[in-house]
């Protein structure tokens, strides 16, 4: 019986090694092998030496090298296949970025030539090219998910999006500009006649009533687009801050750099212009006529809601067209009402220091919250005027604009000197000359007392005429001046329209009392029978906080005022003020110094201590006291108090915030902070000088030209 045939063993060799070859054939094969190897040019392997290899090893090595060569070829091909689309996409993105850059340069050139329509075309082209760059970058395949390079690629995609987002906002702005420029340059009217238009050299005075209304209408219609453009630019700034800018693909970085560099200024311009347009349109009497009570305030004689009300005016504005402007001395309103039996009880300090039993318009801005004072003054004006007339006041005003003297200095800087009745006024001597004319000069010139302040109205008319004669190319300067004056409370606005007040409040242009969010400080002076002495007072306010007391943080406010005038004359005298300090509600007074019963002249030449009033008002705790400073002397008024639990709670959360609110008209006061917070400071806005860093103490000095906020984290 034949032996059973065995199956080949595929785990060892594909050549059936289990089938044994005859010995003679095996020997022959071994003897022949060196000859075969010689045929390949290889050195024969000697038998029984260390270099001798098993029969299958040489073959395996040859096979390995063949596969290695082909593997390398295949791997290289795979790399080419994998990277070619990415390289192509990067090149395409770079070319698109370069075309976008060229389009943006063209847009800039066309804008300089006032070719807004042409600039819009170029912006659209730049937007298209950035879209191509973005889409190209998305076609790099799996490289987007690779560590390192993937982050850069996604950053480049985000950068392209930022560029498109910015251009989208710019397109909205250019569209608005085109509409306004067309309105300013004129067009074809409905009847087919050519409109006059507004060239860059044309003046506001030259505009017809219809043109003013048309311009305001277009500004009003542009507001939604302006808001959208502002939001788009804000989003673009946020996106740009997340992009790894230094790692961007060079062509894309170069194309986007001009846009990125201009984002902050563009955002700031929109943040300022949008609320300005929102406010100016209704304040300019569109769509409804605005009837104003104008108040000219003299901050040389401070009152809580700004300077003393010296002159008042009636101004009506209908779609930018001023139809009425009349100014008069405030006493010409108060005196007839007094003669007709006007009765209104004044605040106690006015009774005590001015010996006044009745409260009149001239003293009605007693609240430091301007909307409160403005409504009171509007009410007094209407009722006093109606009482004097014996009938309701026709066309009663429904809004108030208060103007501090700092505004007029800025306006004269813009317009240059003005001449009225043979007298020339410039930005440096304007207020001094007016003070002399209305207090002394009128008498020498034989002007009736009731007409002594008429010159103020005449100066206002001349100044307004010069502003209206300025070419449209300078209108942005006027708008910038108005914006700064509103921020500095040199202009304060109030309206009985809730919609208008909402817009004004959002921007902080109503000088409304701020809510307390943490610590708060507001120093309010009221000049009571001290003539114009605030004009020569050097005022410094020091605020200290000490968190070390286990019973709670202690705050100290010290007012150090110097009366720089040496003698008493028609304009300056001893300083007399009822001063209120507004602090967080719930604060408790610990001690005080500097309060007086009256000035030294009335108390026999000696300082007699006075009382401190503690009250609640406008959501704050208030400390009030009378004090006086003789000519050439320095005085101090100090309040030491414990801050409330709400402030302690904020500190426990590792943060401290102080809101400083400016009193309207107080443009020259200095503020010094020394806050011992008990914990090392991690960050502060605004930052201290660098040599003050690294401890638990915040020291800072600043002016009080605007409201300020200080935020500190531990």
Q: What are the DSSP calls for 327-388, one per residue?
A: EEETHHHHHHHHHTT---PPPHHHHHHH--SS--GGG---SSSHHHHHHHHHHHHHHHHHHH
Q: Which range, of 159-173, 238-252, 342-356, averages the lowest pLDDT? A: 238-252
With H, G, I as helix, E, B as strand and everything else as coil, classify residue 427: coil
Average pLDDT value over all residues in the chain = 80
Is the pLDDT reported for residue 116 higher than 60?
yes
Q: What is the CATH number of the domain that holds 662?
A: 2.60.40
Q: How far is CA 628 from the centre of its chain?
A: 39
Beta strands in 535-574 (DSSP E): 537-546, 554-563
Q: Tokens 């300089």 belong to which residue?
A: 112
Domain boundary among 481, 507, 533: 507
- State both tokens at 226: 């302006």
Residues 243 and 329 in one domain: no
Encode pLDDT of 643-693 as tens digits.
998 887 877 788 899 999 999 999 999 999 999 988 899 999 999 999 999
Domain boundary among 225, 257, 283: 283
User: 673 vs 79, which has greater pLDDT?
Assistant: 673
* Mean of pLDDT values over 219-247: 72
Q: What is the per-residue pLDDT for 35?
A: 42
Query: Would residue 302 count as lying in a domain?
Result: yes
Residues 221 and 101 in one domain: yes
By the 8 A CB rule, do 249 and 130 touch?
no
* Mean of pLDDT values over 507-511: 90
* Mean of pLDDT values over 188-212: 58
Residues 122 and 164 in one domain: yes
Helix or strand (DSSP H, E) at 402: strand 399-404
User: 274 vs 13, which has greater pLDDT?
Assistant: 274
User: In terms of residue numbers, what domain contains 548?
Assistant: 519-713
Residues 187 and 261 in one domain: yes
Distance from C-alpha of 195 to C-alpha of 190, rounded to nearest angstrom: 10
Does the predicted TM-score (pTM) go above 0.85? no
Is the pLDDT reported for residue 80 higher than 50?
no
Residues 627 and 672 in one domain: yes
Q: Tokens 């100290």 belong to which residue?
A: 556
Q: What is the per-residue pLDDT for 159?
A: 63
Residues 397 and 430 in one domain: yes
Q: What is the per-residue pLDDT for 185?
A: 54
Q: What is the per-residue pLDDT for 625?
A: 98
Number of folded domains that form the chain: 3
Query: Would residue 49 count as lying in a domain?
Result: no
- Give the residue ranges of DSSP H helices in 138-207: 149-185
Residues 334 and 200 in one domain: no
By the 8 A CB rule, do 298 and 229 touch?
no
Residues 267 and 343 in one domain: no
Encode pLDDT of 128-167 as tens digits.
877 777 677 666 554 455 554 444 555 566 666 666 666 6
* Mean of pLDDT values over 623-648: 95
Query: Would residue 351 count as lying in a domain?
Result: yes
Q: What is the CATH number of the domain that holds 471?
A: 3.40.630
Query: Would residue 513 count as lying in a domain?
Result: no
Q: What is the per-residue pLDDT for 640?
A: 98
Across 22-26, 284-288, 420-424, 623-627, the highest mean pLDDT is recorded for 623-627
Q: How far is CA 465 from the centre of its chain?
A: 31
Residues 234 and 329 in one domain: no
Query: Would residue 91 count as lying in a domain?
Result: yes
Query: Would residue 67 count as lying in a domain?
Result: no
Longest dimension (CA), the chain: 158
User: 643 vs 503, which has greater pLDDT?
Assistant: 643
Query: Would residue 12 count as lying in a domain?
Result: no
* Mean of pLDDT values over 218-230: 81
Of the pLDDT bands very low, low, confident and very high (cuts 50, 70, 90), residue 229 is: confident
* Mean of pLDDT values over 299-316: 94
Residues 502 and 553 in one domain: no
* Mean of pLDDT values over 482-497: 92
Query: Would residue 64 count as lying in a domain?
Result: no
* Mean of pLDDT values over 595-599: 97
Residues 313 and 246 in one domain: no
Residues 302 and 278 in one domain: no
Domain boundary among 226, 259, 283: 283
CA dihedral 296, 575, 614, 555 (to 10 degrees): 100
**What percent of the chain is modeled with pLDDT above 70?**
72
Helix or strand (DSSP H, E) at 304: none
Q: What is the per-residue pLDDT for 66?
A: 65
């Amino acid at each position: 019986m034949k032996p059973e045939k065995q199956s080949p063993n595929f785990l060892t060799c594909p050549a059936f090694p289990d089938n044994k070859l005859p010995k003679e054939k095996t020997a022959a094969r071994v003897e022949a092998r060196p000859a075969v190897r010689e045929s390949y040019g290889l050195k024969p392997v000697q038998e029984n030496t260390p270099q001798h290899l098993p029969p299958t090893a040489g073959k395996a090595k040859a096979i390995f090298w063949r596969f290695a060569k082909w593997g390398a070829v295949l791997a290289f091909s795979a790399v080419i296949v994998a990277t070619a689309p990415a390289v192509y996409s990067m090149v395409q993105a770079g070319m698109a970025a370069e075309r976008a850059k060229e389009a943006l340069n063209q847009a800039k050139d066309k804008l300089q030539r006032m070719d807004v329509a042409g600039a819009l075309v170029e912006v659209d082209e730049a937007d298209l090219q950035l879209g191509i760059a973005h889409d190209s970058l998305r076609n790099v395949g799996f490289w987007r998910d690779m560590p390192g390079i993937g982050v850069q690629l996604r950053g480049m995609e985000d950068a392209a999006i930022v560029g498109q987002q910015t251009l989208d906002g710019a397109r909205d702005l250019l569209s608005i500009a085109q509409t306004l420029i067309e309105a300013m340059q004129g067009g074809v009217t409905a009847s087919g006649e050519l409109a006059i238009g507004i060239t860059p050299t044309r003046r506001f005075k030259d505009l017809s009533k219809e043109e003013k209304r048309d311009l305001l209408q277009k500004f009003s219609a542009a507001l939604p687009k302006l808001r959208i453009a502002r939001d788009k630019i804000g989003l673009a700034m946020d996106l740009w801050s997340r992009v790894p800018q230094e790692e961007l693909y060079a062509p894309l970085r170069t194309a986007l750099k001009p846009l990125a560099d201009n984002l902050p200024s563009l955002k700031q311009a929109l943040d300022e212009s949008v609320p300005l347009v929102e406010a100016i349109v209704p304040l300019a009497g569109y769509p409804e006529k605005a009837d104003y009570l104008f108040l000219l305030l003299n901050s040389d004689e401070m009152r809580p809601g700004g300077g003393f009300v010296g002159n008042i005016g009636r101004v009506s504005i209908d779609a930018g067209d001023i139809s009425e402007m009349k100014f008069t001395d405030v006493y010409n309103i108060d005196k007839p009402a007094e003669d007709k039996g006007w009765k209104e009880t004044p605040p106690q300090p006015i009774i005590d220091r001015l010996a006044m039993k009745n409260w009149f318009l001239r003293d009605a801005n007693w609240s430091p919250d301007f909307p409160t004072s403005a409504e009171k003054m509007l009410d007094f004006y209407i009722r006093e005027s109606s009482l004097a007339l014996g009938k309701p006041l026709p066309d009663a005003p429904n809004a108030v604009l208060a103007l501090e003297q700092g505004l007029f200095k800025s306006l004269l800087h813009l317009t240059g000197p003005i001449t009225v009745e043979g007298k020339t006024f410039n930005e440096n001597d304007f207020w001094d000359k007016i003070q002399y004319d209305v207090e002394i000069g009128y008498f020498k010139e034989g002007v009736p007392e009731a007409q002594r302040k008429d010159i103020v109205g005449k100066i206002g008319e001349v100044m307004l005429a010069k502003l209206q004669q300025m070419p449209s190319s300078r209108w942005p300067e006027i708008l910038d001046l108005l914006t700064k004056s509103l921020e500095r409370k040199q202009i304060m606005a109030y309206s009985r329209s809730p919609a208008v007040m909402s817009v004004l409040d959002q921007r902080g242009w109503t000088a409304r009392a701020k809510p307390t969010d943490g610590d708060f400080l507001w120093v309010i002076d009221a000049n009571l029978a001290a003539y114009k002495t605030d004009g020569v007072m050097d005022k410094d306010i020091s605020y200290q906080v000490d968190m070390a007391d286990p019973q709670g943080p202690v705050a100290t406010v010290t007012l150090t005022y110097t009366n720089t005038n040496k003698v008493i004359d028609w304009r300056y005298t001893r300083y007399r003020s009822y001063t209120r300090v507004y602090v967080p509600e719930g604060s408790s007074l610990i001690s005080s110094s500097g309060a007086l019963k009256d000035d030294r002249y009335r108390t026999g030449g000696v300082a007699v201590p006075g009382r401190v009033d503690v009250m609640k008002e406008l959501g704050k705790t208030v400390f009030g006291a009378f004090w006086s400073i003789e000519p050439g002397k320095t005085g101090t008024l100090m309040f030491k108090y414990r801050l409330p639990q709400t402030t302690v709670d904020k500190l426990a959360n590792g943060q401290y915030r102080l809101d400083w609110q400016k009193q309207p008209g107080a443009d020259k006061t200095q503020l010094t902070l020394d806050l011992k917070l008990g914990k090392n400071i991690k960050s502060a806005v605004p930052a201290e000088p660098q040599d003050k860093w690294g401890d638990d103490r915040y020291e800072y000095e600043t002016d009080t030209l605007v409201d300020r906020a200080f935020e500190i984290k531990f």
